Structure 1
Amino acid sequence: MLTHVLLDQSLLHAAPGLKVGAIYYKDIIVGESPKMIKGRLQFYQETLHTELQDLPLIEKEGIAEWRHIFKAAGTDPSRYRPSHESLARAVKKNGNLSFVHSAVDLNNFFSIQYMLPAGIYDASALKGTVTVKIGEEADTYEGLNGRTNTFKDKIVSSDDIGAFGSPIVDSNRTKTTTETTEALQLFYLPPSLSKKEAEKLLAASAKMFHQIHSGEADVAILDDEQTVFSFQKTT
């Protein structure tokens, strides 16, 4: 089944230069994160925890720019934080993040390593065209935070069923589990990141994901020159 990911003009107008990295994975095996990966994640989080003790979070590279992007979209970043800022706050406070499973753990690692929002979704739960846009009143869903979230004037992704993901919090409907065999991963890439740097970031991320989960990956960068990414779903 051919599926499309579309970067909507509303987002490009609000944040010129914004890019979305999209990776479609198929035939993957999701499970508990291997000990090697857990060790690597733990070491990085401990290093970040130490760094953030003497650094105001707003001064951490990647956070101020994303707060600016949120404001441009109409979102108050003090009330609705970018997901990577929330993760960094948790690391600063607690020293580490809880392990969930290999797909989520690695997605969180990419998010704090590159200091940008990233989301990973069970592609079998997606129906029709996926659109990344600025949300409207009707864009709501039950989030992983246990609340009903509304996405008017916030960056959101939706399919033919409705909204399902954002750089704030994702939905229960499309969350990945240990039963997931195909996934769509979205990286929200700031204007300051060049396309060449974005390509390297996505290639490195897809390679690391493949090393842990096997399978295959299709990669694309959506921007003002290429606004559509198409891939062949297995289900």
Structure 2
Amino acid sequence: MKIIRTDALNEFERIGLIHYTKIQVGHSPQMLRGRLRLFQEQLFFELEDRPLQETSFTQFQPSTFYDTIEKIQREEWQSLTNSGEDINLLYALQFSFPVHLNGNIQDDYIIDSGALQRPLTEMVDESTTAAIQLFYFPNELTEEECQQRLEAARQFFFQIHGGTSTTHILKTNQTLEVIA
């Protein structure tokens, strides 16, 4: 699989990527379910008296991430699906920027102007053994902050799913090959 980063997403100088292999996706442990609910409720209370258009989330409009934030603002809690989808949503809420998890790593993955319109999680279920996860880092984060967040996410994902993983930072017009 090739991951191709185009220059269509200039608002993101760096996109973090974690490539997971030999993982086991299943039911979310209680700790993950509790954290996910906590982050949704915290976000709801932070946004309770503010129009979403007056927040930093507008930089991600339109996107499926922005749509998710709108739902949480309306107290429409995101339901638990599986450990892969749940941890991915937790990262997006915790970091306050889009995070995508894709379990179909057979086809080339192109990061272009339509990337933010993709679902936050694609083709991840109990049969998933390999995946890529993309972190759309805001430009105000330093390279070191990006690396720290990738590493923290990688370690937490490993605690729940096992397997192996590698991290990368993609810059404009970069192509990366990952082996499924």
Q: What is the CA–CA distance in structure 2 between the aligned matches of 1:216 and 1:171, rounded to whole Å?
A: 22
Residue in 2 that maps onto 1:182:
130
Say which of 49, 52, 69 aligns to 2:47. Answer: 52
Cα distance in 2 for partners of 1:45, 1:181 equals: 28
Residues 171 and 210 (structure 1), Cα distance of their counterparts in 2 relative to 1, 3 Å cut: closer
**Is the CA contact (8 Å cut-off) linking 2:17 and 2:135 kept in structure 1?**
yes
C-alpha distance after superposition, 1:196-232 (max 9, x if no partner): 21111111111111111011111101114x8232322
What is residue 115 of structure 1 aligned with on the other side?
Answer: 96
Match of 2:66 in 1: 85
From 20, 23, 41, give the equivalent of 2:18: 23
Q: Quick check: 1:227 aligned with 2:154?
A: no
* Percentage of pairs with the same residue: 26
Q: 1:189/1:171 Cα in 2 relative to 1: closer, same or farther (>3 Å)?
A: closer
Q: Which residue does 1:132 correspond to in 2?
A: 111
- Per-residue deviation, residues 147-190 of structure 1 (Å, max 9, x unmatched): xxxxxxxx23xxxxxxxxx3123399x51111101011112222
Q: Bigger radius of gyration, 1 or 2?
A: 1
> What is the TM-score with the length of structure 1 in the denominator?
0.70
Question: TM-score under structure 2 normalisation?
Answer: 0.89
CA distance in 1, matches of 2:120, 2:87: 18
> Number of residue pairs matched?
180
For the 8 Å contact 1:46–1:95, the answer to whether it is kept is no
Structural RMSD (CA)? 2.2
Match of 1:65 in 2: 59
Could you tell me which amino acid in structure 2 is paired with residue 89 of structure 1? Answer: E
Q: Distance in 1 between matches of 2:5 and 2:127?
A: 28
Per-residue CA deviations over 1:19-78 (Å, capped at 9, x if unaligned) read 2111110010101110111011111211111111012212333x13334xxxxxxxxxxx
Partner amino acid for 1:105? D
1:161-172 to 2 correspondences below 5 Å: 166-170=115-119
**Displacement after TM superposition at 1:116 (Å):** 1.3
**Counterpart position of 2:139:** 191
Whichever residue aligns with residue 190 of structure 1, its letter is P
The equivalent of 1:77 in structure 2 is: none
Consecutive unaligned residues of structure 1, counting only runs of 5 or more, are 68-80, 134-154, 157-165
- Cα distance, 1:116–1:229 mapped onto 2, change above 3 Å: same
- Unaligned 5+ segments in structure 2 are none
